[in-house]
A = this chain, B = another copy of it.
Amino acid sequence: MEKKALILFGHGARDPRWKEPFLKIQEILKETEPQQIVELAFLELMSPNLPECVAQLTQAGVENITVIPVFFGQGGHIREDLPKIISTCRQANPQLQLSVKPAVGESLEVLQAIAKYCTHEQ
């Protein structure tokens, strides 16, 4: 069976606590999909970056990777930076099936959950 993995791709930040929600999403996925490999990778300021993460997974025998951009808006990072990085990853790993989902801010269910949170009483 083809070995698959997900990569949660975030912007990155100087403060290590910035990463906490990404670790929590990873934890939720480990509980709900225990057979699923889920890694984190970052555009800048945190490691690993996406090419490093992809290289580690392919070395571990992963043949199919889906990258999920954990970004709200689709600006320059998603429309310009990410396609270049993905192209680099594909060139470095020509056998790999590598796909990219739309950013999580494109998901109506995610936006509905945010809208619900906005009107929760604290």
Residues of chain A touching chain B, judged by Cβ–Cβ distance below 8 Å, are 6, 8, 10, 13-15, 17-22, 24-25, 28-29, 32-33, 36, 38, 68, 70, 72-76, 79, 99, 101, 104-119, 122
B68 adjacent to A25 (CB under 8 Å)? no
- State the majority secondary structure of interface residues on A: helix
User: What are some 18 contacts across the A-B interface (CB < 8 A)?
Assistant: A6-B118, A17-B74, A20-B73, A20-B105, A21-B105, A22-B72, A22-B73, A24-B111, A29-B115, A29-B118, A38-B118, A68-B118, A101-B118, A104-B114, A107-B113, A109-B117, A110-B113, A112-B113
Residues of B within 8 A of A15 (CB): 73-76, 79
- Closest CB-CB distance, A67 to chain B, in whole Å? 10
Smallest CB gap from A29: residue in B: B115
Q: Chain B nearest CB: distance from A40 CB in Å?
A: 11
In the complex, chain B residues whose CB is within 8 Å of the CB of A107: 113-114, 117
